[in-house]
Amino acid sequence: MAPKSLFKKIGILGMGRMSIGLAIDLALKGLKIDMIDLKARTENQRRQYEIRLREECKKVIKLLNKEVEPFQFPAYLVKPSAGGYDLIFEGLPEEIPIKHNALAGMGESVGNETLICSMTSTFTVEKLSKDIDPPLSIIVTHFMNPPYLLPFLEVVPHPGVKQERVDRLLTFLKSVGHMPIVCKSSPGFVISRLQLCVMNEAVRLVEEGVAAPQDIDRAIQYGWGYRFPIMGILEFIDVGGLEILYHAGRSVSAELNRPDLECPELIKDRFNEGSIGTKTLKGIFNYESHEQVAEDDRARLKKQIRLKTLLDEIHRKDGAWQ
């Protein structure tokens, strides 16, 4: 169970999919969650939203083979409950005025000690914080949907938020089963930029007739899907050999007349200095020794075998090899 003392009172603003998903995720960890719906609705609409919240909770509990009895359903509120909140997750529509008005509508429930975590995937933390009076401690926490299944999220702190408050949030997120990374305030952050590149290139492959759409999807499912749960993409560059990326980048970009596929300067610099990955104990990362590299390779292979066994079983049940 999560250490509740880190944040004694937690609220979530908004009734969208991400807000409900996060409320369920935190409630499954034993936390008391207030779902705050500040939008003007009729009494009947509010009842329907409250029913929808409980039904969604029950559906996920069943999906995850959890017990309904000990589960503390998130409270559906039309206004903040009495007393200040330590932590607020904001999951409102991607419009700055809506977000600002909602935070202002929280009144005394939000103060200097409240950490505001926006789940935006669009705005920088600087834009979210601009013109808020009085200033609030705002951090972007970009979860992946649904958060009760996907542990990853990006944390983008405002420069004005003290590091100890960021550290406290990171500790809390890890304690409830998430895997946060801290990144700079940059459009698309990390995961969206990576996805943007892959998704656009997949569509280009369809446009060019390189492969059928379903086969491109199979390349991801049965290629990357079997590899990257075990290792990161930058780790893969080093393990496979940075020189492979260097030469492939030059060749493919020239053949397709696509300068955007050329390798970044960092890869060119590493190649020119002879730092090509685990073989030379330096690439994107630095490595202690060849013995340690060999030990890491053996550990990775064991994980790969376990993963393959699991994925083969899943795909076989779906009739993948029939």
pLDDT tens for each residue of 63-96 = 998 877 678 899 999 989 888 899 999 999 999 9
Secondary structure (3-state) at 215: helix
**What's the whole-number mean pLDDT along residues 292-305?**
97
Beta-bridge partners for 182: 155
Cα–Cα dist 3/308, whole Å = 35
Least confident of 84-93, 102-111, 228-237: 102-111
Residues whose CB falls within 8 Å of the CB of residue 181, separated by 6 or more in sequence, listed in order: 152, 153, 154, 155, 190
Name the nearest CA neighbour of 155 among 165, 265, 40. 165
Secondary structure (3-state) at 167: helix
Name the nearest CA neighbour of 16 among 100, 92, 102. 92
Q: Name the band, by pLDDT with cuts 50, 70 and 90, for residue 102.
A: confident
Beta-bridge partners for 179: 152
What are the structural domains, with CATH classification, of the chain?
4-182 (3.40.50.720), 228-316 (1.10.1040.50)
pLDDT tens for each residue of 141-171 = 999 999 999 999 999 999 989 999 999 999 9
Cα–Cα dist 242/233, whole Å = 12
Burial class for 96, CB neighbours closer than 10 Å (0-12, 13-18, 19+): middle
Q: Name the band, by pLDDT with cuts 50, 70 and 90, for residue 133.
A: low
What pLDDT score does 111 carry? 81
Q: Name the band, by pLDDT with cuts 50, 70 and 90, for residue 17.
A: very high
Cα–Cα dist 278/294, whole Å = 9
Q: Find where tokens 């890869």 sit.
A: 267
What pLDDT score does 322 carry? 80
As separate numbers, helices (DSSP H) first and strands (DSSP E) second, the chain gives 12, 8
What pLDDT score does 261 carry? 96
Q: Find where tokens 């979210």 sit.
A: 128
**Do the Cβ atoms of 307 and 226 come closer than 8 Å?**
yes
**What's the whole-number mean pLDDT along residues 256-264?**
96
Beta-bridge partners for 60: none
pLDDT surpasses 50 at 242: yes
What pLDDT score does 1 carry? 45
